Amino acid sequence: MTESNQPAQQPDEPDAVQPSAGQTDSGAREQGPSLPGPGRPDPLQGGSGQAGAQSAPAGLGDVPASFTPAQPQVPSPDAGQTQLGGSGPGRQLPPPGSGQPHPLGPGAPAVQFGAEHPAGPPSAPFAGPQTGQYYLPPGFQPPPAAPRPKGRGKVVAGVAALVLLVGGLSGGLGGYLGYNFANDSSAISSLDAPRPASQTSNAPAGSVEDVANRLLPSVVQIQVVTRSGAGEGSGFVISSNGQVVTNNHVIEGAAAGGTIKVVFQDGRTATAKILGRDPSSDIAVIQAEGISGAPVVQLGNSADLKIGQGVVAIGSPFELSGTVTSGIVSSLNRPVSAGGDARNSQATVLNAIQTDAAINPGNSGGPLVNMQGQVVGINSAIYSPNSAGGQAGSVGIGFAIPMDQARRTIDEIVKTGKPRQTVLGVKVESTEQGARISEITSGGAAEKAGLKAGDVITKFGDRRIDESDTLVAAVRSKAPGDKVTITLSDNRTVEATLDGVEVG
């Protein structure tokens, strides 16, 4: 049969074959080979059923065209019956006197010739047992085979082929399904797992999630538009009527004319005006108009911070409002310069908190928060080695104004609109030993303490002074009226009472 699953074409002539022989043949194994020529061995000798069984597995159809004929073998009696019957072409006997052996081979019993024995008593050539090489007498014609119903061989062979085909397909399908079942039964899929229960409990106290939930409603985005352009930053609400703390460099462009808009986390917007600002400490307070009931932050103590403790930064980096990042306190009392026009000058040197929480442009003015949800700093500056080629980005080194220093300035702005800057009354420059005084302000705290130009300050209170910015940052960390002991390079010590100068 072919791969189209249709029975092969069968000859119309009835063959002398027993029903069992036709079932054994199946119709597939007789197709293809031609009959042997005179004097040549029969390639099907030994039974085409054997060759077919070896070369045509169930369900694969006909034997391939490259089928190699089986070597001549001595057939069994059953094999001889199969050679003469089945769905294949009938076998022709050798002509009388040709000297060719009988197709059944030597030693085959005479009664196996044909499908049935001729009616009546056996004739002389068939009488008695036959041994050795057997030849037909000259002119002998075999008796005609008993007729069988036409088409029976086709039906039997076709049924057998169909059974084999169905069996092959069933076996292949069963193997495929069994293989997939074995794989599916051992495979684990996330899609089969039930969905987890919804989390309804509150965030653990002291977690970043808890801090974010508590602070986000109080953090705002600040948008500034001036004649020269536009900018944006962050801030946090300190009063329910809309007072917002931010950096001076965020809103200083609007001080000479421009507009400020505050965007709250709940989507509300409001125009704002400047209440006061301090360029030297980079702090400003603005008033959002028409606001009431705004959630406010809780201010913490920056003096309690420890290196390594966790902190969270919240703001609007690159106009992405409500962004939360976390990290640790990397260092304390780090002298850095921050601010707008006064950048890289002593006018804006900060005694800053260093953190590795990601701070980017737009975070300026936003809160740095401890894990109790208290604001301990105001994010103000970052270090970026590639800032000269474009806008700076976070490399894990950010700086915040300590809240203890900022709180005093914020309070003065809210109460009077005029913050005061803490000063020693000197101009200094860096040396290998510390900060050398280059100029003394007449009547200032340094002159009153007995300091002179040329003196080198090596300690300010308990803090070692290694350069001029360190001395400026140390002075700014104090409040006007504070007393401090100053140590000089010649080991002399003096005590000075710090002054305050109104700015803004």
Asked if 364 is an active-site residue, the reply is yes
DSSP string, 110-160: GGGSSSSPPSSS--GGGSS---SS--PPTT--PPPPPP--TTHHHHHHHHH
Q: Which residues contact 257 (CB under 8 A, 6 or more apart)?
A: 226, 227
| Burial class of residue 425, CB neighbours in 10 A (0-12, 13-18, 19+) | buried
Q: Which two tokens stand for residue 503?
A: 């700015």
Asked whether the CA dihedral 206, 209, 213, 219 is positive or negative, the reply is positive
| Catalytic-labelled residue, pool 15, 249, 278, 326 | 249
Q: Where are the alpha helices (DSSP H) in 187-311?
A: 208-215, 248-251
In this structure, what DSSP letter does residue 192 have?
G
| Burial class of residue 245, CB neighbours in 10 A (0-12, 13-18, 19+) | buried
Are 236 and 265 in contact by the 8 Å Cβ rule? The answer is: no
Exposed e or buried b per residue across 44-73, where buried means at least 16 C-beta atoms within 10 angstroms of its C-beta: bbbbbbbbbeebbebbebbbeeebebbeee
How far apart are alpha carbons 186 and 230 in whole angstroms? Answer: 61
| Catalytic-labelled residue, pool 330, 364, 394, 477 | 364
CA dihedral 124→126→127→130, nearest 10 degrees, is 130
Are 398 and 381 in contact by the 8 Å Cβ rule? The answer is: yes
How far apart are alpha carbons 171 and 175 in whole angstroms? Answer: 6
Cα three-residue angle 393-280-390, rounded to 5 degrees: 20
Q: Where are the alpha helices (DSSP H) in 291-427?
A: 403-416
Nearest Cα to Cα of residue 237 among 327, 341, 366: 366
Q: Which two tokens stand for residue 391?
A: 């806008």
Rounded alpha-carbon distances, angstroms, from residue 428 to 231, 439, 457, 499: 34, 7, 9, 17
Asked if 282 is an active-site residue, the reply is yes
| Catalytic-labelled residue, pool 282, 356, 455, 499 | 282
Are 382 and 280 in contact by the 8 Å Cβ rule? The answer is: no
Number of neighbouring beta carbons within 10 Å of residue 150: 10
Active site amino acids: 249, 282, 364
